[in-house]
Each structure stands twice: as structure tokens, then as C-alpha cells.
Structure 1
Amino acid sequence: MPKDIQDSPQLLGEISQAPSAFEQFLERNQKGIVVFAIVAALAGCGWVIYRSKKTGEEKDAGAALIKAEDLSALQAVSKEYPGTQAAGSAVVLSAEKQWTDGQQDAAIETLKGFIQSQQDHPARASAQASLAAKLMAQGKNAEAETAFQAVISNPSGKFLAPYALIQLGDLAKIGGDVEKARGYYDRVKTEFADSSFAGLASQHLLTLKAKAPAEIEPRPAPAPTPGAPNIPGFPGGGDEVAPGNLFQPGAGGGAPFGGLGAPVPTDEPTPATPSK
């Protein structure tokens, strides 16, 4: 028994003096850990530098966008600052300039390219609505309907959804589908009751109930009265005398006002003037 007691401290001492598993891991991988720490530190510094540079580019691009007033200046912003938010906004504004300058097809292509390439840009919903309105203005109603549906499906374009619904209602009305148009207008009134578009939807609903005015046949001209004198200006007479010709000699077969026409010769001889 004493022997067991004497041996116990020696066993405990041997366990406590041995290095732990974590210490052994550090000893074996010390060099790798140091290298990893250096790389992580450099990566952190690089990210800070990148973010600082990116922020600086965004500020410069924004300042250039504010100064841009014509189409060439807007296109320069999109080329000089690619990847920035301001560059994307410059593309959308360029399309508006193209449209007002009469380059309608070019404006539509610009918007289509932006919508396809800039999936996360904040102005994408506005570009979709602008594209749909321009297609509708060109009479391309089927393409416009698809574009307006894209506005409604865009989660970031909810603020434009009531506008898109009203336009879809107008397109349905143009196509002759009154019930479909009514459904779009009613959606605006129920889903966006607090927006200013709700009142506009009510007005468009009233136009669905209004009927087109009936066409009325014009009254026929009165027939000439038998036995009436063929005197212009009298009921049943000949052609009316134009107001501008009333005072012209010979107008309408005579001069009705004051004898302004030439005297009509008669068969009676003119009395001779007695000589003195």
C-alpha cells in the first residue's frame, strides 16, 4: 500500500509536465500561423485601401454627373467611371436625352442595355418604367405591357407599381378589354389606397363607364319654294350672296344695297336737255 502511495505523485508529475495538445500544435505550425496572420493583416489593409479608393471614385463620379448637362457629358461619365453608381445613373439620363433629341430607337436600346447589365442598380426600376412608357408612345403595346409587368415584379420598384398598373389598364382599354382594364384600376385603389395614384385610378374607372357620343345626321338643306323669286338671300331663292361681295358691282345679279351696281339700260329714250 505505501508503495502505491509513493508511486502516485511520480505519475501525476509526469502528466502535468508533458506539453498539452494545443501547445504541441502551436509548436508544429508556428511558422504557418505567423504567415497566415501576416496575410490576414495585409488583406485587411488592402480592403481598407480598396474601400477608400472606391469611395473616392464614387465621389468623383457623382460630382461629374452633377456637372453633366448634355448627352456627350453624360456619356463621358459612364465611360470614365465604370462600375460606379453615378455611371449607371448617367446611362439612364443619357437615354432621356436621346429621346428628347429625336433618337427614340437609340434611347430604347440604351435603356434595354442598362436593364440587362445593371441588375442591382437603384435606378433599374425607373429605367424599366421609362422603357415601358417609350414603347407605349411608339405604339408597341405588346412590348410595353411586358415592360410594365417587369416594373411590378421588381421588388425595388414598388413605388412605381401603381403607375405601371394604371398604364396596363390603359393598354387593356386600348385593346378593347374593358374588364381587364377595370381590374388593373381596382388593384391601384385597393393595394395603393394611400398613394396619389388611387385618385387617378378612380378617374380612369369613370372613363370606362362613359359612352361615346352618338353621331347625328346633319339636317338637309331646305328645298326651293315653288314660285319664289330667284333672288339671292331670300328663302327658296338662288345661291346665297357671299358677305364679302355684297358691295361689289354685279354681285349676285345686281347690287342690292344702294344701287352700287352699273345702271341697267332701258328702251325708253333719255329726255333731251333743253338748250338755252
Structure 2
Amino acid sequence: MATYKKNNNRPNRHRDNEQLDDAQETRLHQESTTAEVFDALDAGANRTEDWVKRNQKIIIGALIAIAVVGLGYLLYQQFVKAPNEKKAANEFFFAQQFFDEAMQATDPKAKDSLFKVSINGGKGKYGFKQIAQNYSGTKAANLAEYGMGMAYMRLGDYNNAINHLKEFNSDDDIFGALAYGNIGDAYLQQKNNAEALKYYIKAFEHSNNDFVTPLYLKKAGIVASLQGKKEDALKYYERIKEEFPTSEEARTIDILIGKISQ
């Protein structure tokens, strides 16, 4: 630590200033100011050292706590989360199988029964609900929320469909947009056009994709038209025509534009 060393050859501070010339007065002032600065630095440093000495147990304890938390996180990732991800993925495979069988079934009763099994589980296997509850925080649990939402949609239980689809989080261009779009579909089934339009807009704003974007632009246009928002509807339709001319939705878009323009 730097300490100001007094100079015994320096002019006496208490000497009569009237006996000093201008150069001596200037040097005396500079030396006095420098000494005060270094004295202040020394005092501050000493106070810091004293504080560290008094609180060294607390400081060491805090550093140990930080190290323990970091180690705990690494251990959690390796010995808890990774195995849970694997178990959850295995369980999800069977729940998804029941869902796929339901989609392929032609008998309405069998279809509904399989959708319910995909949600609640069966044959000793978890359904989407148990996966979401027992493996919270895993990728499979997140996908289970989406699967549950879609199963409830097929069963006509739109409240549960909305609740679970809202729990699903994805930055994926397709799945993220589909989740929003299906929430819009569920609200539309409930005759809640305002919420349906809001989620259709969320769906096409989620990504710029040749598959989902024109689909939900068209749905947003139809619902906006039902609400009397013809300018908004026309804007959505024109975007399909200009940006997605080869899409399935573009094939009949001129008809929808013509209806609004009448």
C-alpha cells in the first residue's frame, strides 16, 4: 500500500508566508495538498482492512455458499434432470402412441376412448397428465401439455384445451404457431371471436412460415370480417396474396377479397 513519506527538507508549513517568494508558496501548497490526499487514501484503506478482518467469517461463508450452489446445480443437472428427461421421454412415447391410434381410429367411441387414455394413461403407462405432473421442467412435460391440449380439443373440452395449450412453450416456428392457432380455434368454438382473433394474430406473428402463416392470416381475416373489421380482414388477405402466392390459402383468396370489397 502506498504511503506518503514526509520530507524533512520540505519548507516548514508554519513558517511566515510573508518570507516566501511566489515559487515557494506554490510548492508549499502542492506538498500540503498531496499529503492530505495520501493521508485520506491510507485512512480509507485501513478502514477497508479493518472491515474485512471483522467480517472475514461472513465473507468466507458467502463464498462457500456460492460454491455449494454452483456445485449443487451441476449435480442436479447430471444426476436428477438428465435421468428425468430420459424417463419422461420414454413415458411420452407411449402416451403419443395412444394419441396417434386415436387419430387413426374410425369408430367415434374408440377414438374418444383412446384420446382419454392418451391423457390419463392406461395399460400401466403414464398419460400426458402424469408426465406433465411428475416430470415438471422436462421437455417431455412441456410437450405433454401440448398433447393434452390437442386431445381435449378432439374431445370437445375446449376449456381444458385452452388451459393446457397455454402451458405449452415453444420457440419453434411450427409448434409455437400451432399452439396459438389451436387456442384460437378453441375460442372460436366457444363463440368468443375476440379471443379467437387475438390468438390467430399471435399465431401468424410467431413466425413467417409458408405453412402456418397464410393459414392463420386467413382465419384471422375471416374472424375480423365477422366482427366488422373489414379493413383488417382485407389487410390479412392481401398479405396472403402478396407474400404467399403459392400457398393453398392463396388459391381462393380473391373470392374472400371480392366479398369484402362489395
Common fold: TM-score over 0.5: yes
Partner of 1:207 in structure 2?
A: 255
**Local SS of the residue matching 2:84:** helix
The runs of 5 or more residues in structure 2 that have no matched partner are 1-7, 10-38, 99-117, 122-126
Deviation, structure 1 residue 184: 1.4
**Local SS of the residue matching 1:33:** helix
Residue correspondence of structure 1 range 51-130 to structure 2 within 5 A:
51-52=77-78, 53-68=80-95, 69-70=97-98, 71=118, 72=121, 73-100=127-154, 103-104=155-156, 106=157, 108-118=158-168, 120-122=169-171, 125-130=177-182
For normalisation by structure 2, the TM-score amounts to 0.55
In proportion to residue count, which structure has more helix?
2
Contact 1:115 / 1:124 at 8 angstroms: preserved in 2? no
**Local SS of the residue matching 1:199:** coil
Partner of 1:169 in structure 2?
A: 221
The runs of 5 or more residues in structure 1 that have no matched partner are 6-14, 212-276
Partner of 1:223 in structure 2?
A: none
Deviation, structure 1 residue 208: 3.6
| Separation in structure 2 between the aligned mates of residue 117 and residue 174 of structure 1, nearest angstrom | 29
Distance 1:35 1:157, change over 3 A: same
Residue correspondence of structure 1 range 175-214 to structure 2 within 5 A:
181-190=233-242, 193=243, 199-208=247-256
- Structure 2 residue aligned with 1:37, among 47, 55, 63? 63
Identity score, percent: 23
Paired letter, 2:255: T
Deviation, structure 1 residue 186: 0.8
Matched, 1:49 2:100: no
| Separation in structure 1 between the aligned mates of residue 257 and residue 167 of structure 2, nearest angstrom | 43
Contact 2:204 / 2:216 at 8 angstroms: preserved in 1? yes
Partner of 1:252 in structure 2?
A: none
Contact 2:152 / 2:161 at 8 angstroms: preserved in 1? no
Deviation, structure 1 residue 109: 1.8
1:143-182 Cα shifts (integer Å, max 9, x gaps): 53333134345xx455444321111223456678876543
| Separation in structure 2 between the aligned mates of residue 28 and residue 74 of structure 1, nearest angstrom | 56
- Ranked by relative contact order (alpha carbons within 8 Å, sequence separation 6 or more), the top structure is 2
| Separation in structure 1 between the aligned mates of residue 50 and residue 177 of structure 2, nearest angstrom | 59
Contact 1:75 / 1:94 at 8 angstroms: preserved in 2? yes
Partner of 2:109 in structure 1?
A: none
Contact 1:111 / 1:128 at 8 angstroms: preserved in 2? no
| Separation in structure 2 between the aligned mates of residue 43 and residue 173 of structure 1, nearest angstrom | 55
Paired letter, 2:254: L
Contact 2:85 / 2:138 at 8 angstroms: preserved in 1? yes
| Separation in structure 1 between the aligned mates of residue 250 and residue 203 of structure 2, nearest angstrom | 21
**Local SS of the residue matching 2:247:** helix
For normalisation by structure 1, the TM-score amounts to 0.53
Deviation, structure 1 residue 90: 1.1
| Separation in structure 2 between the aligned mates of residue 121 and residue 151 of structure 1, nearest angstrom | 12
**Which structure has the larger Rg?**
1
Distance 1:89 1:186, change over 3 A: same
Deviation, structure 1 residue 129: 0.7
Paired letter, 1:91: E
Distance 1:31 1:152, change over 3 A: same
| Aligned residues between the structures | 188
Contact 1:79 / 1:87 at 8 angstroms: preserved in 2? yes
| Separation in structure 1 between the aligned mates of residue 64 and residue 192 of structure 2, nearest angstrom | 61
Distance 1:171 1:203, change over 3 A: farther
Partner of 2:196 in structure 1?
A: 144
